[in-house]
Amino acid sequence: MDKLTVRDADVAGKRVFVRVDFNVPIADGKVQDDSRIRAAVPTIALLVQAGARVILASHLGRPNGKVVDSLRLRPVGQRLAELIRRNVPVTGDALGVGTEDALKRMRPGEIVMLENLRFHPEEEANDPGFAATLASYADVYVNDAFGTAHRAHASTVGIADQLPAYAGLLMERELTMLSKLLEAPERPFAAILGGAKVSDKIAVIDNLLTKVDLLVLGGGMANTFLLAKGKTIGKSLAEPDRVEDARRILATAEKNGVRVVLPVDVIVAKEVTRGTEYKTLLAEKIPASWHIVDLGKQSQELMLDALADVNTVFWNGPLGVFEIPSFAHGTNAVARMLADRADQGATVVVGGGDSVAAITRQGLASKMTHISTGGGASLEFLEGRVLPGVTVLLDREPAEQPKPAATKSTPKPAAKKAAASATKKPTTTKTPAATKTPAATKAAAKTASRK
């Protein structure tokens, strides 16, 4: 990875602002799925051990710039405290004298979590004043919030202009795993794409068509491809205005020698609900009153067969309405098969909230090579886009150039990867930030427009 990480930073005794993505599901005041919290523990543990004062900051849900009591971070702080067996007090607000006092009282190795950043509209607006206040809390900035790296917000982009900015260990792992897919996948390389809307996935398919050997399509989004092939799909979810895109994708795949596998038979249901009437039909002429809700047996066999020898897989999007157990068979079969492939040494990367939920429900998450904590962020990365929250992090100086004469003179903190860097000399807070070019910042702002 070409970004400096928290291992390169001098953090002993320093105040370190760590942007985490603790946007987790909460019900009845309890965290329902703590995987995003667990994923950030290595970075937090490293900082605590190095004697840093750790200031954690996250958003939760969509409070739209107002205080929403059900979106307070207290349950998250409690869960993290259980996981790391340390106190994790949460401030009443991300701003204010009370918070400033609490942060001033922190001792090395202590942790404080700021209240939900999105209670302030300035967070999502990337307001410079708000970013400056957050920056004033700390000496060093660490971004471990991969799931939010595709957003140019005050805590992901603005703050990084004012502090030396490093990638957290989770951020590093996400970027390393995902870049490997784009740069050096072991072949055959397959992408499996499903989920509801094809419009969300067109850009990623376009980019992956230049990389993969095999493209497996299922779920609601495959219906638009069936339309493109002249099939009828009844009442099934589809986006008729994307049929042209689907046709173009199929043509490009053929030109690039990418094999495309679409469902050949499907489960159709009277309604997309539990307990409804359903049956299997060929994916040719679905009568007007039926919805496609899952892969049929033949499709499953065809897909498992096509995937049998792959060495690299990226999967995003369930292959049916997996929330309803009768329509989860295709998704479950592919998940089991990928777990086996991973067991046999293949690289299996899964991204997307619902796909990950489907895998977790089957207890297969730990079998996969990498489960991305970022749905939208992982797709944007694989679209080939630069994530604004990544752009602003400090670059690692390229290793030993053969031509010593032409070294650029921009000062940067320790360029060499140094795992045992806790002993490294202090880095000034100004120089690294000054190395960021306005162009990079502009590019970041541009990429951020997508919601």
Interface residues toward ligand ADP, by CB under 6 A: 194-196, 200, 219-220, 237, 292-293, 316-318, 320-321, 323, 352-355, 375
Helix or strand holding residue 267 (H, E): strand 265-269
Residue placing its CB nearer to ligand ADP in the complex, 267 or 433? 267
Q: Which does 220 bind (CB under 5 to 8 A by kind): ligand ADP, Mg ion, none?
A: ligand ADP
The span of 2-10, 105-113, 251-259, 347-355 binding Mg ion (CB under 5 A) equals 347-355
Token output for 257: 């020698």
- The DSSP code for 232 is E
Half-sphere exposure of 224 (CA within 13 A, CB side): 26
Residue 316 or residue 347: which is nearer to ligand ADP going by CB? 316
Q: Least Å distance between CB 385 and ligand ADP?
A: 17
- Token pair 């919805």 is found at 291
Pairing of strands 26-27, 30-31: antiparallel
Choice between 296 and 317, CB closer to ligand ADP: 317
The question of whether 353 is a catalytic residue gets the answer yes
Residue 316 Cα distances to 8, 201, 216, 327, 335, angstroms: 33, 9, 11, 17, 11
Task: Give the pairing of strands 140-143 and 165-167.
Answer: parallel
Rounded distance, CA 54 to CA 245, Å? 47
The single residue of 74, 86, 197, 336 carrying the catalytic annotation is 197
Which residue, 6 or 221, is less far from ligand ADP as judged by CB?
221
> Does the annotation mark 36 as catalytic?
yes
Q: Is 29 a catalytic residue?
A: no
Beta bridge partners of 395: 3
353 contacts Mg ion (rule: CB under 5 A): yes
65 near Mg ion, judged by CB under 5 A: no
Do 264 and 300 touch, CB atoms closer than 8 A?
A: no
Name the segment binding Mg ion (CB under 5 A); options: 51-59, 111-119, 153-161, 353-361. Answer: 353-361
Scanning 157-165, 248-256, 292-300, 351-359 for contacts with Mg ion by CB under 5 A, the matching segment is: 351-359
User: Does 25 help bind Mg ion (rule: CB under 5 A)?
Assistant: no
* Token pair of 416 as six digits: 């060499």
Nearer to ligand ADP, 169 or 237 (CB): 237
Which does residue 330 bind out of ligand ADP, Mg ion, none, counting CB within 5 to 8 angstroms by kind? none
Residue type, 157: V
Q: Encoding tokens for residue 79?
A: 């869960």
Whether 15 sits among the annotated catalytic residues: the reply is no
Catalytic residues: 36, 197, 353, 376
